[in-house]
Structure 1
Amino acid sequence: MVTRAFLKRLKADAAAVAMTEFALAAPLMLTVGLYGLEMANYAVTHLQISQAAMHVADNASRIGDTSTLVDRKIYEADINDLLYGVDLQAGDGIDLLEYGRVIVSSLEVDPDDSTGVQQYIHWQRCKGKKNFVSSYGVEGDGKGDPSFVGMGPAGEEVIAMEGEAVIFVEVSYTYQPIVTDAFISDREITVFSSFNVRDSRDISQIYQADPTSPDTPADCGSFTSYKPAPTLPPSNSGGWNWNWFNGGAGG
């Protein structure tokens, strides 16, 4: 039983007062510290996702074989290498293609348009497990559609010049908290980046390096990453008979 005399002694004990104050303040200070840690990690992750989008757009504008005689061709293998590379660059800490999606589009002028200004998405390649589609159009959009004026936010659309191409990249990622998602109201990070194709490129199509053994395109209809599916241990591993309901437990 707590008596009045005990409370008086507790009040006079400086160590007890300090301990009580610490006990009251610790939860608040811990919460503030964890909040700061989570927000700092979110900011760093957002920066890394932005850099990943820029990395893909920049490199996609440069890829292709090298020739001084014909326009540079690009291959499905080039795009696959590019998508695999950005996953490696982002690192295991982010695991970009497990929790996000990268969409690469080639924005061009419709070759069938007599005005030479109609924009359309010639091709689009995607990778990542996140269920996300482009916010600015899919492959084929703009073909014969004057309402399609480019890719990007309304009023700030990126456009391509006739005979050229613009690589437009979107990256969407679901932030993975290190403490709790209670501190982040919106965990979705979506960024975009675009670069003009650097060299004279053959924009007629994406080629196969070896037509007899074609590389699989990064089709936007599939939602996969490059990581193999985990191998599950055998059902009878660990020294336990998992068929106990048929014959009893084992050791």
Structure 2
Amino acid sequence: MTHQVARRRPLRSLARNTDAVSVMEFALVLPLFMTLGMYGAEIAWLNATALEVSQVAVSMADNASRIGQTDNSGVTPTISSADVESVLDGALEEGASANLEDNGRVILSSLEGHPVTGKQYIHWQQCKGKGKQESKKGKADPSGGLLSSLVNGLTMGGKTIKAPNGGAVMVAEVWYEYKGLFGTLFIDKIMLHEEAAVIARDDRSVDNGLTGNDKKNAC
């Protein structure tokens, strides 16, 4: 009996020993807190990236709408492919922190009213970036002969947008493949798509589309 009591004493002593309990508890909950923290960082990064893509789309549409404002020749300017390329380059540069050029595509379309029929159509469309995505608004119809589903304008945000007679609406689209801050640990790859439209703020000649090499960045 005495020997049994003697053997039990170390066990009781060990049970009453509270040294390093906090360390043990911390070790147990650390993986959970790390997982929650990483997941929170992933969601925050995704939201920040989506906001950046949206801002690129708005800036691109706005910059495209201002092409020709600095022309002081007194002649209504015709937009060149070089003008449009500079807008596309600017959009890619704005999204450089997210590596937009390698992981996405920027698309700029000119929504106009046909000079004869008055129906809406995409007169020209230019793209840049290594992505292969296409515009959700359809392809360019230089002659206006196809006059597809855009005859009454295009829909954005639940509203129908139309170009004024003799004018144009610059429609910007940005595609971006979000690959995850931690790869696919928490989320699969997500294709972000943002768009914006701004009416051209300058007097421009829209009858002949783009001048210059419009095939270089054709979609």
Residue in 1 that maps onto 2:127: 126
Q: CA deviation at 1:146?
A: 6.4
Q: CA deviation at 1:206?
A: 1.1
Which sits farther off after the overlay, 161-170 or 80-89? 80-89
Of residues 152, 166, 175 in structure 1, which corresponds to 2:155?
A: 152
Residue in 2 that maps onto 1:77: 82
| Structure 1: runs of 5+ lacking an equivalent | 209-213, 221-251
Mapped to 1, the partners of 2:201 and 2:13 lie a distance apart of 80
* Change beyond 3 A, Cα 1:70–1:8: farther
Mapped to 2, the partners of 1:4 and 1:131 lie a distance apart of 73
Correspondence 1:88-107 to 2 at 5 A: 88-91=93-96, 93-107=97-111
Residue in 1 that maps onto 2:3: none
Of residues 52, 55, 60 in structure 1, which corresponds to 2:59?
A: 55
Please report the TM-score for the alignment, with normalisation by the length of structure 1.
0.75
Residue 67 of structure 2 contacts residue 202 of structure 2 at CA under 8 Å; is this kept in 1?
no
Q: CA deviation at 1:150?
A: 2.1
Structure with a larger share of its residues in strand: 2
Mapped to 2, the partners of 1:37 and 1:177 lie a distance apart of 10
- Structure 2 SS opposite 1:83: helix
Mapped to 2, the partners of 1:130 and 1:88 lie a distance apart of 15
Residue 72 of structure 1 contacts residue 202 of structure 1 at CA under 8 Å; is this kept in 2?
yes
Of residues 153, 162, 165 in structure 1, which corresponds to 2:165?
A: 162
Q: Which has the higher contact order (CA 8 A, sep 6+)?
A: 2
Mapped to 1, the partners of 2:185 and 2:78 lie a distance apart of 48
Residue in 2 that maps onto 1:137: 138
Q: CA deviation at 1:7?
A: 6.4
Mapped to 2, the partners of 1:134 and 1:8 lie a distance apart of 74
Please report the TM-score for the alignment, with normalisation by the length of structure 2.
0.85
Residue 52 of structure 1 contacts residue 86 of structure 1 at CA under 8 Å; is this kept in 2?
yes
Of residues 159, 171, 176 in structure 1, which corresponds to 2:174?
A: 171
Residue 137 of structure 1 contacts residue 151 of structure 1 at CA under 8 Å; is this kept in 2?
no
Residue in 1 that maps onto 2:30: 26
Q: CA deviation at 1:19?
A: 2.2
Mapped to 2, the partners of 1:4 and 1:104 lie a distance apart of 81
Q: Provide, for residues 119-161 of structure 1, a one-character-per-residue CA deviation record: whole Å limited to 9, x for no partner.
A: 1000000011112111111101864536422223485232111
One-letter code of the match for 2:163? Answer: A
Residue 120 of structure 1 contacts residue 143 of structure 1 at CA under 8 Å; is this kept in 2?
no
Percent of aligned pairs with the same amino acid:
37
| Structure 2: runs of 5+ lacking an equivalent | 1-6
One-letter code of the match for 2:216? Answer: P
Residue in 1 that maps onto 2:192: 189
Residue 112 of structure 2 contacts residue 168 of structure 2 at CA under 8 Å; is this kept in 1?
yes
Residue in 1 that maps onto 2:216: 217
Residue in 1 that maps onto 2:4: none
Residue 180 of structure 2 contacts residue 188 of structure 2 at CA under 8 Å; is this kept in 1?
no
Which sits farther off after the overlay, 55-64 or 15-24? 15-24
One-letter code of the match for 2:182? Answer: V
Mapped to 2, the partners of 1:47 and 1:182 lie a distance apart of 22
User: Could you say which structure has the larger radius of gyration?
Assistant: 2
One-letter code of the match for 1:187? Answer: I
Which sits farther off after the overlay, 24-33 or 56-65? 56-65
* Change beyond 3 A, Cα 1:99–1:6: farther
